[in-house]
Amino acid sequence: MGLLTNLKDSISRVTDGLFAAEEPKRIGIYGPPNAGKTTLANRIARDWTGDAVGPESHIPHETRRARRKENVEIERNGRTVTIDIVDTPGVTTKVDYKEFLDHDIEKEDAVRRSREATEGVAEAMHWLREDVDGVIYVLDSTTDPFTQVNTMLIGIIESQDLPVLILANKTDLPGTDVKQIANAFPQHETIPLSALEGENMDEVYTKIAEYFG
Amino acid sequence: MPHQCTECGRTFPDGSKEMLSGCPDCGGNKFQFKPNGVDDENAVAADPTGSTEPPTPTDSTEPRGSTDPKPTRSEPKPTPSEPKPTQSEPKPTAERSASSERVSDIDNEDTAQASARSDVVSPDELDRASQEVPPAADESAEPGSGSDPDSGQRPGIDDLRDELNAQFESIRIVSPGKYELNLMELYDRQEYIISLQEDGRYVIEMPDAWGVNDE
């Protein structure tokens, strides 16, 4: 009997372990180009894993392929939330290579970047449909949030019943207007932050744990 | 029929939904875009009879001894005034058609399609194309045949772009490096475009291909 009991115990330990090890939620960081998505992704990844996700840049469409950082463990109030972060290319309805020419990029390279950025948007939209369990929507708080892209994306996210956290980024810059973003999406909570300076990240992590834990 | 599977060569009509879940024959998910009428000028020039009759795949295989006592395969007649252009002379395009066993709707057959079938992009070339496009070539590039010396007669890149736009309402190529995106359309599509080429080629990811490498 002792042998059977031992066997039963080990089986139940294995099955308990299987069910306890819940798949980490895949959280997509979405938003228009240059909102600070990669800066935020890097901030989160560095704070909790020590690694970065990808290069940050002031040039729009620097992120042209979705990048994932897996198993980011965020500790809040004594419990740990494990998420996969997906940093996505900025979503837009128009891509023009001329945007890149202002950043000292040659035309040939600019045209290539433009094509890659377009493919990146297609990929980001695909991930939103297929592969994301929750969304962190990043907006530049110094710009007008009432745009077609923002309205459409938030609408899609809502229609999918995905949990969404709206972040008003770049609060370190003059001209920041968090209220304007809160007014644009009153049905959602808006959290101000500066991903670059690391301002208000504590609240961001608390909300991530609350929304996606 | 501007789409052709690069694996088995099967062609699909414009707007066909058949290819959306991969090639029904070989499961391939890479297709070449070949707009209608691309090689028309040259194909007509190559046809000595000037016949407007669409070449049929059966022409060269069906015995027609009773109506055509003189098999003229070895002597093409380059006389434009040929009174009866309906005999079963094997035109180059007809031969190509005959070599394809999967021509389903031959009514829409044209020389561009025949050419597309015979001119399959090699996997290597497709691989290279998906990684880099020489922008200088974008303006002059033509899909499919690269051996066409009659460049003055070819349809412009704008025509090809229009054709491509008609295929992909989700991404409109305004000009090289300028794109307009339909986000809802991109979101709604189960398959998605993973590589764009200015010359009319594209690579899309098929739903059937997903999960193949999943562990």
B39: tokens are: 């090689």
Give the pLDDT confidence of B40-65 residue by residue, as tens digits. Answer: 444 444 444 444 444 444 444 444 44
Neighbours of A128 (CB within 10 A): 23
When pLDDT is cut at 50, 70 and 90, the band that residue B78 belongs to is very low
Q: Which helix (H) or strand (E) holds B97?
A: helix B92-99
Test mutation, A125, A128, A150, chain B, max B CBs within 10 A: A125
Instruction: Give the closest of A92, A110, A115 to B196, CB-based.
Output: A115
Mean pLDDT of chain A: 89
A158 touches chain B (CB under 8 A): no
Say whether residue A132 is in contact with chain B using an 8 A CB cutoff: no
Residue A118 located in a structural domain = yes
What are the chain A neighbours of B195 within 8 Å (beta carbons)? 119
Which residue in the block uniquely carries the two structure tokens 């979705």? A66
Residue A137 has pLDDT above 70, yes or no: yes
**Range with top average pLDDT, A51-55, B40-44, B98-102:** A51-55
Give the one of A97, A114, A122 whose C-beta lies nearest to B186's C-beta.
Answer: A122
Residue A54 has pLDDT above 70, yes or no: yes
Mean per-residue pLDDT of chain B: 59
To 5 degrees, how large is the angle CA B168–CA B174–CA B178? 105
Query: What is the pairing mode between strands A67-76 and A79-87?
Result: antiparallel
Q: Is the pLDDT of residue A140 over 90?
A: yes
pLDDT for residue B151:
45
Residues of chain A numbered 8-47 and touching chain B (CB < 8 Å):
none
Residue in B34, B40, B36 with CA at minimum distance from that of residue B200: B34
B193: which chain A residues are within 8 Å (Cβ-Cβ)? 119, 122
Reading the block at residue B138, the tokens are 């974008």
Nearest residue, CB atoms, A119 vs list B177, B184, B196: B196
Binary contact (B182, A93; C-beta < 8 A): yes
User: Which range scores top for mean pLDDT: A130-134, B173-177, B199-203?
Assistant: A130-134
CATH code for the domain of A117: 3.40.50.300
Scan for tokens 């207007």, then name that residue: A177
Tens of pLDDT, residues B119-165: 556 666 666 655 544 444 344 334 443 344 444 455 666 676 666 55
ipTM of the complex model: 0.83
Count how many residues are written for chain A. 213
pLDDT beyond 80 at B194: no
Whether residue A3 lies inside any domain: the answer is: no
Q: From CA B9, how far away is CA B32, in angstroms rounded?
A: 9
Tell me the pLDDT tens digit for each residue of B6-41. 889 888 887 777 777 788 888 888 888 776 655 544
Kindly give the pairing relationship between strand A190-192 and strand A164-169: parallel
Give residue B100's pLDDT. Answer: 42
> What is the residue-wise DSSP string for A131-183?
T-SEEEEEEETTS----HHHHHHHHHHHHTT--EEEEEE-TTSTT--HHHHHH
- B194: chain A residues, CB-CB within 8 Å: 119, 122-123
For residue B81, name the pLDDT band (cuts at 50, 70, 90). Answer: very low
**Which DSSP category does B77 fall into?**
-
How far is A171 from A168, CA to CA, in rounded Å? Answer: 7
Is residue A1 included in any domain, yes or no? no
Q: Measured between alpha carbons, how far is A87 from A133 in angstroms, rounded to an integer?
A: 14
Confidence of residue B190 (pLDDT cuts 50, 70, 90): confident
Q: Is residue A4 part of a domain?
A: no
DSSP conformational letter for A194: B
pLDDT confidence of residue B145: 39
Domain interval for residue A51: 24-212
What's the number of domains chain A is made of?
1
Per the model's pLDDT, the better-predicted residue between A16 and B177 turns out to be B177
Answer yes or no: is pLDDT of A20 > 70: no
Q: Is residue A127 part of a domain?
A: yes
Backbone angles phi, psi at B6, to 5 degrees: -80, -10
| Predicted local confidence at residue A210, as pLDDT | 93
What percent of chain B stands above pLDDT 70? 26
Q: Which helix (H) or strand (E) holds A84?
A: strand A79-87
- Whether residues A118 and B179 touch (CB distance < 8 A) is answered with yes
Nearest CB partner across the interface for B183, out of A91, A97, A108: A91
Mean pLDDT of A158-181: 96
Of B136 and A111, more confident: A111
What lies within 8 Å, CB to CB, of B93 at 6+ separation is B43, B46, B47, B55, B111, B114, B115
**What do you get for the CA distance between the two ends of chain A, in Å?**
41
